[in-house]
Amino acid sequence: MDVIASSERLKFLEYTTRLKYQLAEWLIVEVKIKDASPQDMSNIDVAELMHTLFKDHDGVVMPCKSTEILMLISWGKDNNPQKLVHEMKAHLPAKACDVTVVPPTKEGMKKLVLMIAPPDPKDGPLYAARLARDGNLFLIADDDMYIRTLAKAGLKPFGDVIEVSDGSGVVESYKQNNPDMVLLDIHLPGLGGQEILNQLRAIDPKAYVIMLSADSSLENVKLTHQHGAKGFLAKPIHKAKLQEYIDACPTLT
């Protein structure tokens, strides 16, 4: 891993030409540091941390503006960005920094945008508790056992999974368990998914909820986003799309 100055931006761009035949194994990472970040962390501090953590990987780190860093890193064939986030979180001030992964575009190399910032009090105690917790927790709410089984198989490698088959029990289960991520069927018996989503958002503004439905009409997708869901999955669940939402969940480690 090389470190270059911002004045060497052209060298950074030239570096990308080496990756033409290995794009699937590389990540481009943009790190942004919020002004109020803890311990007065500078872009130089974070660049040095990245260089130390990933010194055994091929790549390059470049501090840009006073609050930004760019990194190209060879991350291997599995190319799981969540592993990189986990490494970063483990060496940032405990409970003080929130690292969010923005889903990469499907064009070319995977790109991550990591935001380093102190937790915002407006995010609420449930979100803060998830950030501080060791281990990941998922909640699947669907009355179809096949869909729950399929979703559980995709989530189990990343943490513990709780299942709910009736809409009337979802909100209470959420309060008791505070899951990092919820897969929520729109058409649940007992209480509909949209109403459940509204209730979850009322008690936890940062609830990370992905809506499920066999009806992937544009209207359904729009409605879920308008009500504050983080995404939509058509049933049966596509593993690659589920992985995108897992990678983007800010509290998963």
Q: CATH number for the domain including 129?
A: 3.40.50.2300
**Residues 145 and 75 grouped into a single domain:** no
**Residue type for position 65:** K
Window from 109-118, 133-142, 225-234 with minimum mean pLDDT:
109-118
pLDDT at position 15 is 78
Please tell me the distance from the alpha carbon of residue 77 to that of residue 233, in angstroms, as a whole number: 26
Of 176, 241, 178, 252, give the one whose Cα is nearest residue 211. 241
Show which of 82, 99, 118 is a domain's final residue: 118
Residue 81 tokens, joined = 């960005």
pLDDT at position 10 is 83
**Residues 46 and 145 grouped into a single domain:** no
- Whether 24 shows a pLDDT value over 90: the answer reads no
Per-residue pLDDT tens digits for 79-135: 677 778 778 877 877 556 666 666 655 556 777 788 787 777 788 899 988 988 888
**6 phi and psi angles, rounded to 5 deg:** -60, -25
Of 96 and 192, the structure prediction assigns the larger pLDDT to 192
**Residues 133 and 228 grouped into a single domain:** yes
**Residues 157 and 215 grouped into a single domain:** yes
* Largest CA-CA distance found in the chain, in angstroms, rounded: 61
Residue 82 counted as domain residue: yes
Q: Identify whether the C-beta of residue 137 lies closer than 8 Å to the C-beta of residue 162.
A: yes
Of 114, 118, 128, give the one whose Cα is nearest residue 46. 114
- Whether 37 shows a pLDDT value over 60: the answer reads no
**Residues 93 and 133 grouped into a single domain:** no
Mean of the per-residue pLDDT values for the chain? 84
Of 115 and 58, the structure prediction assigns the larger pLDDT to 58
- Whether 204 shows a pLDDT value over 80: the answer reads yes
With pLDDT > 90 as the criterion, what percentage of the chain qualifies?
A: 34
Show which of 70, 86, 118 is a domain's final residue: 118
**Residues 107 and 167 grouped into a single domain:** no
Angle at 185 between CA 205 and CA 139, to 5 degrees: 60
Domain that holds residue 213: 123-248
**Residues 28 and 90 grouped into a single domain:** yes
**Residues 56 and 173 grouped into a single domain:** no
Please tell me the distance from the alpha carbon of residue 67 to that of residue 47, in angstroms, as a whole number: 11
**Residues 133 and 241 grouped into a single domain:** yes
**Residues 68 and 145 grouped into a single domain:** no
**Residues 148 and 130 grouped into a single domain:** yes
Residue 253 counted as domain residue: no
Of 220 and 166, the structure prediction assigns the larger pLDDT to 166
| HEC readout, 69-98 | EEEEEECCCCCCHHHHHHHHHHCCCCCCCC
Window from 61-70, 138-147, 218-227 with minimum mean pLDDT:
218-227
Number of domains in the chain: 2
Show which of 62, 94, 118 is a domain's final residue: 118
Residue 198 CA, distance from chain mean position = 22
Whats the size of the chain, residue-wise? 253
Residue 99 counted as domain residue: yes
Note every long-range contact of 187-196, with CB atoms under 8 Å and residues 24 or more positions apart, other chains counting. Answer: 187/213, 188/141, 188/142, 188/143, 189/143, 190/166, 191/167, 192/167, 193/141, 193/167, 194/223, 194/224, 194/227, 195/167, 196/141, 196/167, 196/170, 196/171
Residue 96 counted as domain residue: yes
- pLDDT, average across residues 199-225: 85
- pLDDT, average across residues 27-41: 71
**Residues 95 and 135 grouped into a single domain:** no
pLDDT at position 34 is 75
